[in-house]
A and B are shown apart, each in its own frame.
Chain A
């Protein structure tokens, strides 16, 4: 008996030992598994952090620009034109206009680069040897237009010397900001050795200083003067598109959701519509671009590269999102509210529009903003409807040629002047992300605020 008991005891001890050993292994597996999960989270969060840090680190330099402070002399020896025409008595409007135009044309024919060159030479230390071409490479190519416009606006400047700030050229900015490796040999540098030396000289003397690059927000894209290229045209083009999306997608989306959820008889047709909408939500965005190219541009002859076409394409893309979200919101409204409205004698339409719909406003609003934010970042379909074209103007109507913020990013990342446009692309991305974060923030704020009240 005792023997058996002891063996039984021993067996149980051994079993406990076995279990303990197994348990240790099982707990180890448990911890490994849990650690893997945590690692996955850390990897995902790490990607978010890495992406944002990388974009900001790359884009930040583009928000400063280097300005040249020049003393520009409007030397009569260079600006050899007649004084600006003055309106005489008895001169007709047309004659004065013609005289004025001729004067401006004469001014445009002048070599304003000579003015810029003279002021740059004045800024260099005495006896500094440098070619004209190398010297002019320091200042942005549109500096001459800037100086000419200043003179056109105030012809009395002739013979005077004024302080003018012009932008440093893209290559000069690369050198100043260190976007280009300074140790590269001469053959690989965009600027000649004297030009680089002069830039360093001018930075040291304070003739070049850095300021915030407002031009990114106030200028349109430019090919000839890359350092002054800005986002304004793309921003306005994007705004037009978003306007089209909001004006079309929200009413149509909400209306079809109301019909499907509240009025539609449950039939094959409405089933088909429903399946259809779910499928549309999953169609790749580029297919919508193909639809836009074939239907809106090739068939309906809407203007190519126009925000109206982009807006229509994005509207069709956003519709399913808004419909699905609105249907969800309508489904969530309590039946008591509906019955109360019907009980008071409201018709079905009145019940929906006066009682049910107002309750769902917060959800619809949030879904709309999220849908618009998504449409805002969409690029591929816009490339297919011609919004990739270079447009150096702010679109005044949705029918004008325009580009959009994501497309501008695409265009800038492909620019040959990599050193200069890589930071600028990252800066444009920062602007785009900022707009999206703002939109998402507004959506979250509205949801939390309005839902509490409702």
Chain B
């Protein structure tokens, strides 16, 4: 409600400002017949920007400081001896009750007299401060409007000023990407640091037992947080996924780029790429209800004990998911190999497959390896397939037919449920996230380095 009123006020101010700048500029141009530097819409925008900034500053200041001021006001309304008798939690509860009384919703239980008076006082306080903020914003806006309007002359370089503002806004937008990275690193590092005050980093990175519950025996009162079982599970699933995705993806890319008729390619390529657009939760479900039971039955048929949720199931389905990633990257890289190399091989009498195996692939090898590494980083960070299909058994073992747990699964398990960021039970998610972030970052940077270096060879 309040925010709607403020937004409406700002919009009206903006419209007024634009209109006034615009008409002033038109008047200038028609009255004296002088040559005005900027077009009327720039003068309009110029005045609008001048008007918006002070009004917005006041509103944002209030949004920023208002909560604290209101808080102090409420505390001031509660009798001093009551404040002293309450602890922090009780005080917060009282404040919440008073706020609720002021909003008119009422509270559960009996209302104490001082709560009622405080609630009434708060209500009038909120009303008055709201009016003050609105009036202050409006006055500041109007004053700025009049000032900006008075500055409009034929020689005012309104366009340049407006363009400078646009430029700053664009720069601010680019900064969002940086801020995101800073936010990721800052939140991961700070929360992981808190985690490492509970658990020694050596115990985390080299521990072989993952048992994040309160345990009375062994690794202290916080449970054991050994990364190695999770890392092993992640690597095993990634390895299986690459075992599926690399041959299929690479051969598909070779066939599509070297053999296929262009009409076949036009149909097959988009269909394979559909795989890349399917949400991973769908793959997870597919793995859980179809692939897992199928693999278990096949295992039973040939005498292998394969669990329905296992590293194998998750790995196979993840491999399917990565196929289009491998194939389209390999396709691009194969197409970048210069024609002359291929024609040279044909000229010597080589068959197509010989050309591909002896000329094309070696030439494209670094790029393809880069593509594989990118696929690996994607498999390492993949979550939903493993959450559903890997079985979540954080035990260090080498059998791919058994359930495993991965880093991503453990992040999900530790951070869903309660988001209390106080204990190592949930903070460990950030240490795991940091590990994951560093692993995938290294893989990506290395892969991009290889791909770029290779590309430059022919240019």
Which residues from chain A sit less than 8 Å from chain B, CB to CB?
A: 26-27, 29-30, 33-34, 36-41, 43-45, 47-48, 50-51, 54-55, 58, 251-253, 255-256, 258-260, 263-264, 272-273, 276-280, 282-291, 293-295, 297-299, 304, 316, 319-320, 323, 347-349, 373-374, 376-380, 383-384, 386, 388, 406, 409-410, 413, 422, 425-426, 429, 432-433, 436, 440
Q: In the complex the two chains form, what is the Cα distance from A379 to B166 in whole Å?
A: 36
26 A-B residue pairs with Cβ-Cβ distance under 8 Å, sorted by A, are: A30-B354, A38-B255, A39-B251, A44-B249, A44-B323, A44-B327, A45-B268, A48-B271, A48-B272, A255-B174, A276-B177, A280-B180, A283-B381, A284-B440, A290-B429, A290-B430, A291-B187, A294-B190, A349-B166, A377-B278, A377-B281, A384-B416, A384-B429, A386-B419, A406-B279, A429-B282
Say what secondary structure dominates the interface of chain B: helix
Q: Does B247 contact A (CB under 8 A)?
A: yes
Identify the closest chain B residue to A37 (Cβ).
Answer: B255
Q: In the complex the two chains form, what is the Cα distance from A37 to B247 in whole Å?
A: 9
Q: In the complex, are the beta carbons of A282 and B377 less than 8 A apart?
A: yes
Least Cβ distance of A44 to chain B in Å?
Answer: 5
Known: A47-B275, A284-B408, A285-B381. A54 touches B181 (CB 8 A): no
B352, B354, B440: the one within 8 Å of A282 (CB): B440
A37, A272, A299: the one within 8 Å of B254 (CB): A37
Those of B219-255 within 8 Å (CB) of chain A: 247-252, 254-255
Q: Does B388 contact A (CB under 8 A)?
A: yes
Q: Does B139 contact A (CB under 8 A)?
A: no
How big is chain B's contact interface, by range?
35 or more
Q: In the complex, are the beta carbons of B440 and A298 less than 8 A apart?
A: no
Q: In the complex, are the beta carbons of A436 and B173 less than 8 A apart?
A: no
Q: In the complex, are the beta carbons of A273 and B178 less than 8 A apart?
A: yes
Q: Does B266 contact A (CB under 8 A)?
A: no
Say what secondary structure dominates the interface of chain A: helix
B177, B279, B356, B415: the one within 8 Å of A378 (CB): B279
Least Cβ distance of B262 to chain A in Å?
Answer: 14
Least Cβ distance of B247 to chain A in Å?
Answer: 7
Q: In the complex, are the beta carbons of B353 and A33 less than 8 A apart?
A: yes
Q: In the complex, are the beta carbons of B183 and A55 less than 8 A apart?
A: no
Q: In the complex, are the beta carbons of B419 and A293 less than 8 A apart?
A: yes
Q: Total A-B residue pairs with C-beta atoms closer than 8 Å?
A: 256
A residues near B249, Cβ cutoff 8 Å: 40, 44
Identify the closest chain A residue to B257 (Cβ).
Answer: A37
Q: In the complex, are the beta carbons of B279 and A290 less than 8 A apart?
A: no
Identify the closest chain A residue to B181 (Cβ).
Answer: A276
B residues near A43, Cβ cutoff 8 Å: 248
Q: In the complex the two chains form, what is the Cα distance from A38 to B268 in whole Å?
A: 11
Q: In the complex the two chains form, what is the Cα distance from A218 to B166 in whole Å?
A: 45
Which of B76-84, B109-117, B284-292, B336-344 is near enough to bind chain A? Answer: B284-292
B residues near A54, Cβ cutoff 8 Å: 286, 290
Which of B94-102, B129-137, B441-449 is near enough to bind chain A? Answer: B441-449
